[in-house]
Structure 1
Amino acid sequence: MDAAPRPLVVKVTCGAEAPERANQAWTVASTALAAGADVTVWLTGEAVWFAVPGRQPSLDLPHAAAVTDLVEAVRLGGRIVVCTQCAARRSLTTQDLVDGATIAGAASFVEAVLADGVQALVY
Structure 2
Amino acid sequence: MRALRIKVTCGPEDAERCNQAFTVAAMAVASGADVGLWLTGEAAWFGTPGRAEAFDLPLATPLADLRDAVLAGGQLTVCTQCADRRGITAEDLLPGVRIAGAAVFTEEILGEGVQALVY
* TM bin (shorter chain): over 0.9
Instruction: Give the SS at the match of 2:7.
Output: strand
Superposed, which structure 2 residues align to 1:11-90 within 5 Å?
A: 11-56=7-52, 58-90=54-86
CA RMSD, Structure 1 to Structure 2 (Å)? 1.1
State, as a whole percentage, how many aligned pairs show the same letter.
59
Give the TM-score normalised by the residue count of structure 2. Answer: 0.95
Tell me which of 99, 102, 107 is aligned to 2:103.
107
Give the structure 2 partner of residue 93 of structure 1: 89
Q: What is the CA–CA distance in structure 2 between the aligned matches of 1:62 and 1:16, rounded to whole Å?
A: 13
Q: CA deviation at 1:93?
A: 1.2
- One-letter amino acid matched to 2:83: A
Alignment length, in residue pairs?
A: 119
Q: What is the CA–CA distance in structure 1 between the aligned matches of 2:107 and 2:100, rounded to whole Å?
A: 11
- One-letter amino acid matched to 1:27: T
Q: What is the CA–CA distance in structure 1 between the aligned matches of 2:48 and 2:23, rounded to whole Å?
A: 18
Structure 2 residues not aligned, in runs of 5+: none
Runs of at least 4 residues of structure 1 off by over 3 A?
Answer: none
Structure 1 residues not aligned, in runs of 5+: none
Structure (1/2) with the larger helix percentage: 2
Give the TM-score normalised by the residue count of structure 1. Answer: 0.92
Q: What is the CA–CA distance in structure 2 between the aligned matches of 1:22 and 1:30, rounded to whole Å?
A: 13
Contact 1:26–1:67 (CA<8 Å) still a contact in 2?
Answer: yes
